Amino acid sequence: MRTLRVAESAGFCFGVQRSVELAEKLLAEHGACASLGELIHNEDVVRELSRKGMRVISDPAEAREGEQVLIRAHGVSPERIRALEERGAVVTDATCPKVKAIHKIVSRASGEGRFVLIIGMKQHPEVEAICGWCGEHLVVENAAELAEIWDNYTNYWEKPLSLVVQTTQTRSNFTECCDFIKKRCTNVKISDTICLATFTRQEEAARLAADCDAMIVIGGKHSANSVHLAQICEEHCGNVQFIERTDELDMSRLRQADVVGLTAGASTPAWIIKEVRNKMSDEIKIGESAVEKEPTFDEMLEETLKPIYNGDKVSGTVVAITGTEISVDLGAKQTGVIPAEEFTEGGAKLEDVVKVGDTVEAVVVRVNDVEGVATLSKKRLDAAKVWADVEAAVEDGTVLEGVVTEDNKGGVVVSVKGVRVFVPASQTDLPRDASMAELLKKTVRLKITEVNKARKRVVGSIRRVAQAERRERTEAIWNEIEIGKKYHGVVKSLTSYGAFVDIGGIDGMVHVSELSWGRIHQPSEVLSVGDEVDVYVINFDKEKRKISLGYKDPDANPWKMFTDRFGVGDIASVKIVKLMPFGAFAEVLPGVDGLIHISQIANRRIGKPEDVLTVGDVVDAKVTAIDDEKHKISLSIRALGEPAPVVAEEESEEPAEDALVYEVSESGVATGEAPAEVEE
């Protein structure tokens, strides 16, 4: 063995440290006390505390009247606590705050009529205590057992389900169980109650074991977290020794190992780790001076359990999340608790804004040493920071963001990270007759115009920001505009001659002729105010600040559709749309009309078109001429009929006029001129 690597997180966790400290305090104040069950899963620590005057009782009935009784770190059921009090014992609760958080979760779930599923070791005292706080519940140790019993508990799975996990379970086991449940239950609430210290220790042990030739794990054989630690190391290293104390260490198994790793469970005191390390260090000639430089257990305990007070600014790591609160490890005697509602302002989802392992800052609101809990407020700390930002924003014109929470006739109230900012109606950027309620629950950007901290009054303006942003967008558009460029806009208003469209701070006009390829009389036939539309630039004048826009799709040009489909000689089914003295106009396709000259309506001479046709008639006609340049079409019904019978010379009709070729305007309206004899 040449190198010894010791895990940074080895040894006592916060909950164990707290319980040992409480025991030491009771012994110092009263000279004796009792522990309901072994205080922690370490025989050496229990033996040392027993030497100092702490006796271990297994049942509340063993407690003496007036005796100081300590509830161990694993916790107990409420029934056992009541039994102790009925015996006249003075109870001090040393339950780990992480475990107490689980008690609250399952108690609340049972009160809501939910079935509780506990992932953990059935005979472990922590799990037994959790069961005491539940109504209907079931304990399973792993996903395999869960799958095995699934069919036998059909009635349970049909109920609303809450799932918790023993604080010392492995992350992989918890994840496997969650995956199984999620696929089968639709109404399940999952609380990740694995202690962050346990998870950190397990992750570190896995990395260390993968890099070492041998691993030493120190911990009690009946300590769940120590057992899991050894199992994790065995998955990554083939030479693992799981020991409780120094005399169990087999040095012969380390002779051929170049690198040896050392870690310890949460119930292992620092002095045992130190003894094992010193024994191993002799093999690699690490001097005693190097060992002595490490802080003592008492020093580490004192550093970790520093007191906190109301008003303190604290920082900690999120260790558990429920629907109502977030538990934070502060590295102190107390576990911090922040109400979940402080993270969900504005409708945010709790899982989107905070996760286990996140570092948060907050202010201490209330300290409860009896329960080992400190109520925190992240909102108050954020508000204090925001006040400083708000005051600075008046001077430098910084744009802030907030959510509109209230409205009235005078304006709206915007919450900027907890600070109430009043925005007068004239500064909301809403039209004069608009309702302030339109802004409720919306996120807005504003500038601070007035701050009076003494009166806690802050005034802001949404309008100033909106105007500045519109100016920026306007300049950007004019700098980049070009003919043919496309924009996505909103219809702002309609007139008889077109529609005005906001393309991002600038209004452009779509002429009625650009709204549709077909016939329309009013823009309202195509668009409505508020419609979102895609338009393109037809023309613009930067000096006059005018933009002409197009709306109708160039690819839907009816003339192109006509020429793609028909040619001279083709027969089309057409609809008569207008009758004139010199002929009839017929719609070939929407937006494309052709002229049937009076001489081409029938195979006989007729006086006027209405003698044969009526507006709305649908007839077949032959395309006889196409002027692609002028968009003119000539049609003939006569060309499809039988030749006219021979008539007397005096009745013979005059030579037929050539079919009129007429123009179709850009708006789709067909126009033409009458033949010469009609004009005369």
Give per-residue pLDDT as tens, 316-374. Answer: 888 778 778 888 888 776 778 898 888 887 677 887 888 888 899 999 998 876 666 78
Rounded CA-CA distance 296/42 in Å is 19
What is the reported pLDDT for 655?
A: 42
For the chain, give every residue range classified as CATH 3.40.50.11270.
Answer: 14-93
pLDDT one-digit tens code per residue, 7-27: 877 777 777 878 888 899 899
Which residue out of 126, 141, 204, 514 is catalytically annotated?
126
CATH for 306-376 (3.40.1170.10, 3.40.1160.10, 2.40.50.140, 1.10.287.3240):
2.40.50.140
Residue 214 has pLDDT above 80, yes or no: yes
What is the reported pLDDT for 281?
A: 75
pLDDT one-digit tens code per residue, 452-507: 877 878 999 999 998 888 888 888 888 888 888 888 999 999 998 899 999 887 88
Asked if 68 and 23 touch (Cβ cutoff 8 Å), the reply is no
Residue 578 has pLDDT above 50, yes or no: yes
User: How far is CA 536 from each of CA 206, 217, 336, 451, 591, rounded to the nearest angstrom?
Assistant: 61, 72, 59, 46, 21
State the pLDDT confidence band at 672, using cuts at 50, 70 and 90: low
What are the helix and strand counts (H, E) for the chain? 18, 34
Residue 69 has pLDDT above 90, yes or no: yes
CA dihedral (170, 174, 176, 177) positive or negative? positive
pLDDT one-digit tens code per residue, 247-291: 899 988 888 888 999 999 888 887 788 888 888 877 655 434 333
Q: State the DSSP code for 652.
A: P
Rounded CA-CA distance 265/18 in Å is 16
What is the reported pLDDT for 172?
A: 87
Rounded CA-CA distance 467/427 in Å is 11
State the pLDDT confidence band at 299, using cuts at 50, 70 and 90: low
φ/ψ bin of 139: left (φ > 0), alpha (ψ from -120 to 50), beta (otherwise): beta
Residue 611 has pLDDT above 60, yes or no: yes
What is the reported pLDDT for 201?
A: 83
Q: What is the mean pLDDT of residues 163-189?
A: 88
Rounded CA-CA distance 293/296 in Å is 9
Asked if 271 and 12 touch (Cβ cutoff 8 Å), the reply is no
Asked if 310 and 367 touch (Cβ cutoff 8 Å), the reply is yes
- For residue 587, report the phi and psi dihedrals to the nearest 5 degrees: -85, 120
Q: Lowest mean pLDDT of 51-55, 242-246, 308-312, 635-639, name the range.
A: 308-312
The DSSP element (H or E) to which 101 belongs, if any, is helix 97-111
Entry pTM: 0.47
Please, which residues bridge with residue 634 across strands?
A: 595, 625
Residue where the block lists tokens 């996140």: 358
Crossing angle between the packed helical segments 97-111 and 14-30, to the nearest 10 degrees: 110
Whether residue 8 lies in the annotated active site: no
Contacts of 610 (CB under 8 A, 6+ apart): 579
Q: State the DSSP code for 649.
A: G
What is the reported pLDDT for 594?
A: 93
Rounded CA-CA distance 393/448 in Å is 6
pLDDT one-digit tens code per residue, 182-213: 888 888 888 888 877 777 788 889 999 999 99
Alpha-carbon torsion, ordered 137, 143, 147, 152, to 10 deg: -20
Q: What percent of the chain has pLDDT over 90?
A: 36
- 128-149 core/surface letters (b: 16 or more CB in 10 A; e: else): bbbbbbbeebbbbbbbeebeee
Q: What percent of the chain has pLDDT over 70?
A: 89
What is the reported pLDDT for 346?
A: 63
What is the reported pLDDT for 664?
A: 43
Distance separating the N- and C-terminal Cα atoms of the chain: 123
State the pLDDT confidence band at 667, using cuts at 50, 70 and 90: very low
Asked if 414 and 405 touch (Cβ cutoff 8 Å), the reply is yes
Query: Of 203, 232, 199, 207, which is closest to residue 217 (Cα–Cα)?
Result: 232
Contacts of 474 (CB under 8 A, 6+ apart): 504, 505, 506
* The architecture CATH gives domain 397-466: Beta Barrel (2.40)
Class in CATH terms, 97-194: alpha beta
State the pLDDT confidence band at 306, using cuts at 50, 70 and 90: low
Query: Of 331, 371, 319, 305, which is closest to residue 20 (Cα–Cα)?
Result: 305
For the chain, give every residue range classified as CATH 2.40.50.140.
Answer: 306-376, 397-466, 481-556, 558-679
DSSP-based three-state secondary structure for 220: coil
State the pLDDT confidence band at 225, using cuts at 50, 70 and 90: confident
Contacts of 59 (CB under 8 A, 6+ apart): none
Query: How is 351-400 classified by DSSP, letter by letter?
Result: HHH--TT-EEEEEEEEEETTTTEEEEEHHHHHHHHHHHHHHHHHHH--EE
What is the reported pLDDT for 583?
A: 94
DSSP-based three-state secondary structure for 576: strand
How many CB atoms lie under 10 A from the CB of residue 378?
Answer: 20
Rounded CA-CA distance 344/355 in Å is 13
Which residue did the predictor score with more confidence, 520 or 190? 190
Amino acid (one-letter) located at 86: E
The CATH topology of domain 197-303 is Cobalt-precorrin-4 Transmethylase; domain 1 (3.40.1010)
Question: What would the two tokens of residue 548 be?
Answer: 């002409």
Rounded CA-CA distance 10/201 in Å is 7
Residue 118 has pLDDT above 80, yes or no: yes
- 379-399 core/surface letters (b: 16 or more CB in 10 A; e: else): bbbbbeebbeebeebbeeeee
Q: What is the mean pLDDT of residues 571-584?
A: 93
Rounded CA-CA distance 413/512 in Å is 43
State the pLDDT confidence band at 625, using cuts at 50, 70 and 90: very high
Which residue did the predictor score with more confidence, 419 or 75? 75
Question: What would the two tokens of residue 321 be?
Answer: 């999340």
Which residue did the predictor score with more confidence, 557 or 650? 557
Amino acid (one-letter) located at 487: Y
What is the reported pLDDT for 340?
A: 86
Residue where the block lists tokens 């049909």: 158
For the chain, give every residue range classified as CATH 3.40.1010.20.
Answer: 97-194, 197-303
Query: How is 128-193 classified by DSSP, letter by letter?
Result: HHHHHT-SSEEEESSHHHHHHHGGGGHHHHTS-EEEEE-TT--HHHHHHHHHHHHTT-SSEEE---
What is the reported pLDDT for 356?
A: 83
Rounded CA-CA distance 119/180 in Å is 12
Rounded CA-CA distance 441/450 in Å is 23
User: How far is CA 19 from each of CA 10, 15, 16, 81, 169, rounded to the nearest angstrom?
Assistant: 18, 6, 5, 17, 20
Q: What is the mean pLDDT of residues 659-666?
A: 46
Mean pLDDT taken over the chain = 84
State the pLDDT confidence band at 442, using cuts at 50, 70 and 90: very high
Asked if 669 and 629 touch (Cβ cutoff 8 Å), the reply is no
Class in CATH terms, 481-556: mainly beta
What is the reported pLDDT for 302?
A: 52
14-93 maps to CATH 3.40.50.11270 = yes
Query: Of 349, 286, 360, which is closest to residue 320 (Cα–Cα)?
Result: 360
CATH for 558-679 (3.40.140.10, 2.40.50.140, 2.60.40.180, 3.30.310.50):
2.40.50.140
What is the reported pLDDT for 39?
A: 86
Residue 401 has pLDDT above 60, yes or no: yes
Residue 153 has pLDDT above 90, yes or no: no
- For residue 116, report the phi and psi dihedrals to the nearest 5 degrees: -105, 130
Which residue did the predictor score with more confidence, 265 or 386? 265
Query: Of 513, 525, 562, which is closest to residue 666 (Cα–Cα)?
Result: 513
What is the reported pLDDT for 321?
A: 81
Rounded CA-CA distance 501/507 in Å is 5
Rounded CA-CA distance 134/142 in Å is 20
